[in-house]
Structure 1
């Protein structure tokens, strides 16, 4: 069973150690290998495919990074793994492929991307936590969607789970939420129901009352994202327990 302390031991590379200018795309095998070689923990994203598998990919559509277009959810895993990235030599790949590559060498943080649909993609969440539980290495899940966490907890309570949050500004997908909904998300007032093992909070919004409260009085460590500058790293050192970093070398 993964311990929270394992997630705090080494800085976490955001979507691997990627460098798009040199053909190393985020969330690809090349980016993951680069992070493993430096002994960094790794955060990746997973999207649901048409057949319920977990694709290691951040966006809801293929357009930005892949030599294809359209929503991920409309293609099967067999179709998706044949698709090459727009640069570099990698194809899309699945969560199990990631596990096979990393093989327990460094901790993995699996962010489940939510489509914010009724039922919270319950079958998909259960599929992911089953794979995480079966993996022979340190790994956990996290998500912005608080409705996913009770599903994960009921199905595989021993799998570490975290809630992702920030200031929850009324923009993008969050426009669909009411002001009260955004207040609940920002302050994580669902925690008595969702019972995460850690908080993943945006560095731009630290310090903040809510994560500080849950950290101080309930012992929930804070994993802050995405740290890109020295000033952000100094702020993270004061208000968080771990960083998810990008664009610099935290060991330098």
Structure 2
């Protein structure tokens, strides 16, 4: 269960990053800035080549770092030495690094990335092991209900949530093109119809799609609803009306 009094506060998306100040998303300076303001932290987890959980959003390295190729091809030792393009930062944090940095000062929402294939049991087992050892405010979440169900089995006492949204761009293009997702399944995921086995303790839903019949049902059931990514005054208004906490970036809440 997600303790509302602990977890429901403004949550800094990938940390309190700010390109103008050279503070890069999902890095120690971004997380330190969020902690200093008392914000919750949202971050992303992907496996290194050996399954070690790394704190990184993209599948490919090139947008943020001096590296090339896939983050999932990196060994942890190489990830620790890889420079970012901005912010004078070297090294992708491991999940263990992040937990040591935060040490319970603010809640963490760790989004486990998925390519919509069979869940990586080795990677998820290590995420679950670290989460159980942490024993401080931490929640795990993913777009992929199979991932959420798996971490629920591996770490049943850690709050877990499903991330969702419209699953289609304005031009009708489905999210994750080239993935195994069909349009029918995208619509089912957007309607939160695959929640059963995952048994989520909370949801995080796209702010631009709120409200929906599914999210209103979630709130009537008493489950916390976060919303992402809140950037504008309009987003903030929607979040205040239709969600319990914003996952935000680009301003200070």
Task: Tell me if TM exceeds 0.5.
Answer: yes
CA displacement 1:94-119 (0-9 Å, x = unmatched): 111111111110000100011222x2
Aligned residue number for residue 105 of structure 1:
105
Report the alpha carbon displacement of residue 7 of structure 1 after superposing the two structures with TM.
Answer: 1.2
Report the alpha carbon displacement of residue 22 of structure 1 after superposing the two structures with TM.
Answer: 2.1
CA displacement 1:12-54 (0-9 Å, x = unmatched): 0011111112211000001011111111111010111101011
CA contact (8 A) 2:53 2:95 kept: yes
User: How large is the Cα RMSD of the aligned pairs?
Assistant: 1.4
Aligned residue number for residue 115 of structure 1:
115
CA displacement 1:48-82 (0-9 Å, x = unmatched): 11010111110001000001111011111111111
Q: Distance in 2 between matches of 1:179 and 1:65?
A: 31
CA displacement 1:142-192 (0-9 Å, x = unmatched): 100111111111111101000000011133414542222112100111122
Indicate whether 1:16 and 2:15 are aligned. yes
Aligned residue number for residue 213 of structure 2:
209
| TM-score under structure 2 length normalisation | 0.93
Indicate whether 1:160 and 2:159 are aligned. yes
Aligned residue number for residue 222 of structure 1:
225
Indicate whether 1:40 and 2:39 are aligned. yes
CA contact (8 A) 1:168 1:174 kept: no
- Match of 1:173, SS state, is coil
CA contact (8 A) 2:174 2:186 kept: no
Q: Which runs of 5+ in 1 are unaligned?
A: none
Aligned residue number for residue 84 of structure 1:
83
Q: Which runs of 5+ in 2 are unaligned?
A: none
| TM-score under structure 1 length normalisation | 0.94
Query: How many aligned positions are there?
Result: 247
